[in-house]
Amino acid sequence: EAGVTQSPRYAVLQEGQAVSFWCDPISGHDTLYWYQQPRDQGPQLLVYFRDEAVIDNSQLPSDRFSAVRPKGTNSTLKIQSAKQGDTATYLCASSFWGARAETLYFGSGTRLTVL
């Protein structure tokens, strides 16, 4: 079974530039999460989806961040105008809540550096 796939693996940009992160979850997983993990901190939830619907995006900085999952499979997280404070690893995770499995399966993440 293929795991959660994320791309790109690394991204380096200047403040004000835009960047997109892509996530392919495990097949059949209905729930998809995006986490931000600053260096030496735990993952912090940004947004999560059930199928194509956003369930909770309360921690997503809405003025610059957006996330979509149009067909309930792959997802894209976009930062419109990056700031140095956005420097972190962005992790995607998926799970199947239909069986209350409660296990999150993470990708390896995208390490973002904003100069």
Q: Does 2 bind other proteins (CB under 8 A)?
A: no
88 scored as a contact of other proteins (CB under 8 A):
no
Residues 48-77, interacting with other proteins (CB under 8 A): 48, 55-56
Nearest in space to 21 (alpha carbons), one of 95, 94, 83, 112: 112
What residues have CB less than 8 Å from 53, skipping those under 6 apart? none
Q: For residues 9 and 61, give the distance between their C-alpha atoms in angstroms, rounded to a whole number.
A: 22
Is 113 among the residues that bind other proteins (CB under 8 A)?
no
Total residues contacting other proteins by CB under 8 A comes to 24
> Binding to other proteins by residue 1, rule CB under 8 A?
no
Residue 25 in contact with other proteins, rule: CB under 8 A? no
- Residues 97 and 51: their CA atoms lie apart, in Å, by 11
Q: Side-chain half-sphere of 53: how many Cα atoms within 13 Å?
A: 2
The site for other proteins (CB under 8 A) is made up of: 4, 31, 33, 35, 40-45, 48, 55-56, 91, 93, 97, 102-109
